[in-house]
Structure 1
Amino acid sequence: MAAPAAQRQVAEFLAGITGQGVVETHISLVFLGEGEVLKLKKAVDLGFLDFTALETRARLIAHEQALNAPNAPGLYLGAVPVTRGAGGLALGGEGEVLDWVLRMRRLPAQAFLDAHGALDWVLLDRMADAVVELHARAPRRAGDGAMDATLAGNRAAGLAAGLPEAEVRAWHKEALAAHEALRPWLAQRAAAGFLRRCHGDLHLGNICLLDGAPHAFDALEFDEALATIDVGYDLAFLLMDLDQRQGRAAANRVMNRHLGRTGDVALVRGLPLWLSLRAFIRAHVAGKRGQDGVPLLRAARAYLSARPAPRLVAVGGLQGTGKSWLARRIAPLLGAAPGAVVLRSDETRKRLAGVPPETRLPEGAYTAEANAAVFVELQAGAHEALTAGHSVILDAMFQRQAEREAVAALHPDFTGLWLTAPMEVLRARVAGRRGDASDATPAILEAAAARDPGPLDWHILDATHDSAPDAMKALDLPPPPSP
C-alpha cells in the first residue's frame, strides 16, 4: 500500500514536470502540461471505491486506458509508472514503482461540452451518433442492472450530503415504486441485449471534441456493476444534463436522433426513473461539494411526477412544407421530459435500410412494399411510446386517406396538422436541401403534388412562413419560444 506521504511526493514531482496547474476531483489529480496531462488516482477510500492500494490504482489506470481509447482515439496516450531510482523520481524510469499515471492529450477548455456554450443542432446530432456507436460496441452482459443497490446507495449519499431528509426519503420511496413497476420490463430488456457494459458516467463534462467531432471519454472504470446498465439509463445521464444545462429542446433533439438511429423507442418507458436518478446523483454530488443540490433534487422528483397525459400529433403535407422542422420545434413542449418522441418516415426508412439518415437511397428503396413497411414501423413505434405514457409526433406525407385514418385511430387524443405552401416555395426548399434524411427531388415533389390526397379533416396550416404559432393554437399550447 502506498503511504500518503509517498503520493504527496509523487504529486509534487508531477506538478513540477508539467508546470501548468492541477485540477482536483474527489478521486483524481490531473496535472496540466503544455501538450498533455497526467492523471493520478488519489489513494483514498470513499466507501464506494477504495484506491488506497497501489496494485488497485495500477490495475484501474490500465483499465481506464483500455476502456476509453477506442471511444476517444488519440486522447489516451498510455499508462506510465512514476519510479524512484538512483537519480530520484522519474516518469517511466528504473527503480521502485511509487505510482501510476495516465498520459492524455491536453485539450482546450472549450473542447469539453459542459464548457462549450450553446450546442447547435449539428453538434447535438453528432453527439447522439457518438452515443449510438459507443453502445453498439458495448459488450452485452447478464444480470439485472443492480438498480436496487443503486437506489439505496444514492439515498444514503443524499442524506450524507445534507440534502433535506424528508425530500430525500420521499424521492427514494417514489423511485422504488417506479422501479418495482418497471422490474419485469427491465428484465425483458436485459434478456434482449440492452444490458451492456456502458460508459456509466455519460454527462456533458465527459464528452469532448477531438478534431471537431464529439467523443465520450472518462468512462466509469472502478466498478463494473455500476457500469453494467441498460443503454437507456446510460443515455439518460446525457439527456438529463442537456435538459438542465442547455434546455429541453437540446435534450429532445438528442433523444430523437438516438431513437431514429436505433429504433429503440421502448426505452422511453424507463426515462422517468432514469432521468430522476441521474438528477438525484447530481444533487448529492453538488451537496457534497458545498453547493446547493436542492434544485436538482426537486428536478429529480419532477421527472418522476410530472407526467402529462400522452398525446399523438401527426404532421403531414408535401415535401418542403417544413414537417420535420415543425415537429422538432413543438416536440420539446409536448408531454413528459424531455418532450415528445418524433417518428419521421424518412429516418425510419433509412434505419430499416441499415444506413445513417443522411445517406441517399436508390429508387428501389421506395417501392410500395417498402413504403408499407415504413408505415407499419411508424405505427408500431407510436403505439410503443404512447403505451409507455409518452407523447408522439408522427412526421410523414400522409397523402393517403387510409393512412390518416389509421394514425388517428392510434390514440384518442389525436391532432392532425396538414402543412401547405405555394409550389414555387416548395421547389426552392427541396432544391436547396443539404444533409437531410429526405431523398426528395423537385421531380419527386411534382409527382406528389399531382396526386389528390382526398378529403382533409386535419388542421390546415400555411407553411409559407413560420407555421409553429398556428400549430400551437391547434394544439391548445402556449406560443412557442423563439427558435
Structure 2
Amino acid sequence: MEEFNSVVQSLQQPKAYPHLVNDLKTITTAVSVVFLTGPYAYKINKPMNLGFLDFSTLDKRKDQCEKEVRYNSLASPELYLGAIAITREQDGSIVINGKGKVIEHGIKMKQVDSNATMNHLLQKEKVTSHHIKTLAQKIIQFHRKAPSDAEISSYGNVETVQFNWDENFSQTEKYVPEIISREDYQFMQDKINHFIHKNQSLFTQRVLKGSIKHCHGDFHSGNVFIVPEGSYIFDGIVFNMRFPCSDVIAEIAFMAMDLEFHNREDLSHEFIAEYQRLSGDNDIPLLLDFYKCYRAYIRAKINCFTSDDKNISTEERQNTIEKAQAYFALAKRYAERL
C-alpha cells in the first residue's frame, strides 16, 4: 500500500504525464483513484480484495485494466484510449509509460466534463427525445457485439434468476420494518416467485435465443455522458462476471427504471420503444417489468447497505433511507404489474 500511495502522490504532479496538464484534479472512489489532467483522465485501482472484487496484486490490477478497456471499448471506443503502465525511473521518479520498472497499471480515457453525465442533465431537463433514441441505438450496437458463450449464458438460466432474487430478499429482510414494511416485502417476494415459476420456459427460451450477453452491468444515467458529438457509455463492470452477464432485457430495464425514478416515464417509454424497434425482440413486454422490479430492488438494497455505514452523518443516513424507500416503492409498482 505504501508504494500505491507513492503512485497517487506522484500522479498529482504534472511532471508525471507525457503531455501538457491543465488544472490537475484527483477523484477518489471506494475502489479507485481518478486523475483529471485536462485532455485525459487516468484511473488506477486500489490494491484491495472485497471478495466480489479482487485487485490485490499487480497482475490482477493489470488484468482488470486490460479487461476494462477491452469491454468498454465495445460501447465507447472514442472514450477508452488504452491501458497504461506506471513506471519508476532510474532517478526514482514515477511517470506514465516510462522506461523504468512497472509498479502500477491504469487506464487512459478521453476526459469529459463531469457535468455532462446524463443524470445531471436530467435534473436540468436537458435530455431530449433525440438523446434517448441515440442512446438506444448505441446500446443495441453494443449488445450486438457483446460476448456470449456457454458460461455467460448460464447466468440467464432460471436457477440463477431465482438465486439472485432469493439473495435480494435474504439480504433485505433485516430492514423490515424500518425501511420496508413486512406487507410490501412479502408481497414482492410472492409476486416474484410466482412469476419465475410460471415463466420457466420463457427464461429457458431466452438462453436458447442467445439473449444472455456480457452486458454493461451498470447501465444507468450516471454512467452516460451526453456531449455535442454524441453519447458515451462508460464504467461497465468487468471485475465479476455475475454482475454484467444477464439478459439484454435486464440491461435496458435498468435504464428504463432509472428514467422513471427521475420522473421521466416519457423518455423511458421512448427508449424502450426505440430499442424494441431496432431489435425486433418481442419478449421485451413480457419481461420488462420483471427486470425493472429487479433493478429497482437492487438500488433499494444498496441504499439500505449504505444506511448502515457508521461514518455517514444522521442527515445522510436519513436521505439514504428515504432513497431506499423510494426505490422499494418503485419496485412494488412494477411487481403489481406481474
| TM more than 0.5 | yes
Shift of 1:157: 5.0
1:9 correspondence with 2:3: no
Match of 2:134 in 1: 126
Give the number of the structure with larger relative contact order, counting CA–CA contacts within 8 Å between residues 6 or more apart: 2
Matches of 2:147 and 2:332 in 1, distance apart? 32
Q: Which has the higher helix share?
A: 2
Matches of 1:33 and 1:284 in 2, distance apart? 35
Match of 2:164 in 1: 150
Q: Is the contact between residue 144 and residue 187 of structure 1 (CA under 8 Å) also seen in structure 2?
A: no
Shift of 1:182: 2.6
Moved over 6 A (4+): 160-163
Shift of 1:278: 0.7
Q: Match for 1:113 among 105, 118, 130?
A: 118
Change (3 A) 1:226 1:77: same
1:22 correspondence with 2:26: yes
Q: Is the contact between residue 179 and residue 273 of structure 1 (CA under 8 Å) also seen in structure 2?
A: no
Match of 1:266 in 2: 283
Please list, as runs of the form range in 1=range in 2, the aligned pairs for 1:13-412 lying within 5 A after superposition. Answer: 13-17=10-14, 20-88=24-92, 89-117=94-122, 118=125, 119-141=127-149, 142-145=153-156, 146-155=160-169, 157-158=171-172, 164=179, 170=186, 171-209=188-226, 211-290=228-307, 291-292=320-321, 293-305=324-336, 307=337
Q: Is the contact between residue 132 and residue 267 of structure 2 (CA under 8 Å) also seen in structure 1?
A: yes
Q: State the one-letter code of the partner of 2:86.
A: V
Change (3 A) 1:157 1:26: farther
Share of identical aligned residues, percent?
Answer: 23
Matches of 1:174 and 1:53 in 2, distance apart? 43
The alignment partner of 2:118 has SS state of coil
Q: Is the contact between residue 140 and residue 196 of structure 1 (CA under 8 Å) also seen in structure 2?
A: yes
Change (3 A) 1:9 1:113: same
Q: Deviations over 1:192-224 (max 9, x none)?
A: 121122111111112223552123222111122
The alignment partner of 2:95 has SS state of strand
Q: Where does structure 1 lack aligned partners over 5 or more consecutive residues?
A: 308-388, 390-483
Shift of 1:165: 6.8
Matches of 1:157 and 1:28 in 2, distance apart? 26
Matches of 1:158 and 1:135 in 2, distance apart? 31
Matches of 2:74 and 2:214 in 1, distance apart? 14
Matches of 1:211 and 1:53 in 2, distance apart? 39
Change (3 A) 1:152 1:46: farther
Matches of 1:160 and 1:212 in 2, distance apart? 46
Q: Where does structure 2 lack aligned partners over 5 or more consecutive residues?
A: 15-20, 308-319
Shift of 1:180: 2.9
Q: Deviations over 1:295-341 (max 9, x none)?
A: 11221122112x2xxxxxxxxxxxxxxxxxxxxxxxxxxxxxxxxxx
Matches of 2:111 and 2:171 in 1, distance apart? 32
Shift of 1:160: 7.9
Q: Deviations over 1:366-404 (max 9, x none)?
A: xxxxxxxxxxxxxxxxxxxxxxx7xxxxxxxxxxxxxxx
Q: State the one-letter code of the partner of 2:117.
A: F
The alignment partner of 2:13 has SS state of helix
Match of 1:447 in 2: none
The alignment partner of 1:225 has SS state of coil
Match of 1:472 in 2: none
Q: Is the contact between residue 79 and residue 232 of structure 2 (CA under 8 Å) also seen in structure 1?
A: no
